[in-house]
Amino acid sequence: MRLFDPHVHMSSRTTADYEAMAAAGIAVVVEPAFWLGQPRTHAGSFADYFASLVGWEPFRASQFDVRHFCALALNPREANDDRIAADVVALLPRYLAKDGVVAVGEVGYDEQTPAEERWFAEQLELARRFDLPVLVHTPHRDKKRGTERSLALVREIGLPPQRVLIDHNTEETLPLVLRAGCWAGHSIYPNSKMDEPRMAALVQQYGGERVLINSAADWGISDPLKVATTVAEMRARGIAEEVIATVAWDNPVAFFSQSGRLDLEAGDATGNAFAGNTVRRG
Amino acid sequence: MSDPAAALAAILRQRRPEAFATWLADASLAAGASFDRTAFELAFAGAGRRFGTDTIGGGITLTGASGRAWSIAGWGLDDAARALLVLGAVAVIPEAAQPGFVDDLYRAGASRERRALLRALALLPDPQRFLATALDACRTSTLPVFEAIACENPYPAECFPKPRFNQMALKAVFTGIAVDRILLLATRRSGELARMAADYAAERRAAGRPVPADLALLGAP
């Protein structure tokens, strides 16, 4: 079964990870823009980061037959830094127009500050302007309230719920997100947020419609194979193959296809037929 | 056709008439329009989605600023569309601003935007002015971008200083690129390049690794 990891920060990972992901069946990844494990102090650092997400990282992935796409945004944590926030958001229109950008994201709330709300709302408007779906991060702390506020802001801005993926859900937030008509992502982590058995139980309870799973792997304790290990857990519990395929492939394809830029044909995500035109020597 | 802009426009008009109809106007480059940087950047970024990435294919050559013609058979239609935009922009912005403009487009570019820019450099007036961008591209590890400057492109042989040309040629071999893809290599062979090729062959043999069969082409008289 081909698998899709709709939220993984590959810039933080090694080529050995790409190799292991490809071997585990992960054929497509979406890397949302986030922080780098620590705050940046110049807006220019974001320009280089965005350029990397539409250039270098898709090439790295293509060497292992993994297709790499990205979502771009000012993330909720650094939205709180008013020395850089406005300049970063001003950069976004230029980069949102590029090949391989399949969503605006991660946007959302972290500490649920007024600054976070301002840039969350402005970037929802950018998503509308560029006709892109949105990937919404939900906070680690005070998660239920943060999720409710996110859903309310999406409603207030008037973005169609089917264009919005609310991520990092738990048992408490998943029903809220499904009821609102949005897509619901789940980050499967070694120690926190969500694990494989709990995730499989959620799929048994709610079914696969609009439910997605991801590894959210980054610089912290995380595992880029979590989509594959969660698929194995669902299979071990006897969840139907077609439900598993809906969660691990069809749903992310359907969601990001709304961008009109999820081109899954040969070559890397920016259309480079890498293997075809280069003879690699040992 | 010796005017590259006219040649590129003819290709695009023939292959993608609908996409081409308002292409220059959308990029604020229609005759009489005032140049709008944002409109230009949006069009430049979206060229692949508008024209697709099919290759131009056989028999098409362009004539660069040096008067030399070369084949663009391997270009995508998006490369042609972007090259046409860059030629158009360079024709309307002040001369002193042109190198910075091209370099900024390169730095902010996705892979295929960077490729198209590098492929178009030899078409621009007084192409030596864009040397810094071309040299920077040689430092990339994104192979398709490196290939766009090193392969099927007359720019390095026409404009690079000797040490930089030699480094580029050796990097091409090093990354598995066939030597015969470097245009005008015969005009840039030197004792130094031959020595570098011979040293590389010795390094490969010492490591018990095969020596690329075409490595000798770098040093051949």
Identify the DSSP state of B188.
G
- ipTM of this complex: 0.92
* Average pLDDT of every residue of chain A: 93
What's residue B52's pLDDT? 96
**SS3 state at B136:** helix
Residues 77-136 of A with CB under 8 A from B: 93-95, 97-100
A197–chain B Cβ distance below 8 A for any pair: no
Distance CA(B208)–CA(A61), nearest Å, equals 29
Distance CA(A8)–CA(A29), nearest Å, equals 7
Distance CA(A269)–CA(A262), nearest Å, equals 8
Distance CA(B180)–CA(A91), nearest Å, equals 41
**Topology of the domain covering A3-267:** TIM Barrel (3.20.20)
The beta-carbon neighbor of B112 closest among A51, A97, A271 is: A271
Averaged pLDDT, B95-111: 97
A interface test, pick of B82, B105, B106, B112 with most A CB neighbours within 10 Å: B112
What's residue B220's pLDDT? 64
Compute the count of residue pairs across chains A and B with CB atoms less than 8 Å apart: 79
Distance CA(A139)–CA(A158), nearest Å, equals 22
Q: Report chain B residues whose CB lies below 8 A from the CB of A55.
A: 109-111, 114, 142, 145
Residues 187-216 of B with CB under 8 A from A: 209-210, 212
Task: Pull the structure tokens for residue B179.
Answer: 């030597």
What's residue A193's pLDDT? 75
Q: Where are the domains of chain A?
A: 3-267
Q: Report chain B residues whose CB lies below 8 A from the CB of A31.
A: none
- Tell me the pLDDT tens digit for each residue of A33-63: 999 989 999 999 999 999 999 999 999 999 9
- Tell me the pLDDT tens digit for each residue of A252-276: 999 999 999 999 975 544 445 444 3
Averaged pLDDT, A183-204: 94
Q: Where are the domains of chain B?
A: 1-126, 154-221
Q: In what order do the strands lie in the sheet with A3-5?
A: A3-5, A26-32, A67-72, A101-108, A134-137, A164-166, A183-187, A211-214
- Tell me the pLDDT tens digit for each residue of B36-65: 999 999 999 999 999 999 999 988 999 998
- Tell me the pLDDT tens digit for each residue of A162-191: 999 999 999 999 999 999 999 999 999 998
Nearest to A216 by CA among A38, A71, A40, A30: A30
Q: Is the pLDDT of residue A280 over 50?
A: no
Q: Report chain B residues whose CB lies below 8 A from the CB of A270.
A: 110-112
The full 3-state SS of B9-59, as one line of letters, equals: HHHHHHHCHHHHHCHHHHCCCCCCCCCCHHHHHHHHHCHHHHHCCCECCCC
What's residue A277's pLDDT? 36
- Tell me the pLDDT tens digit for each residue of B186-216: 999 999 999 999 999 999 999 999 999 999 8
B38–chain A Cβ distance below 8 A for any pair: yes
Q: Of A50-54, A151-155, A277-281, which gets the smallest average pLDDT?
A: A277-281
Q: What percent of chain A has pLDDT above 90?
A: 91
Q: Is the pLDDT of residue A279 over 70?
A: no
Say if the Cβ atoms of B76 and A271 lie within 8 Å: yes
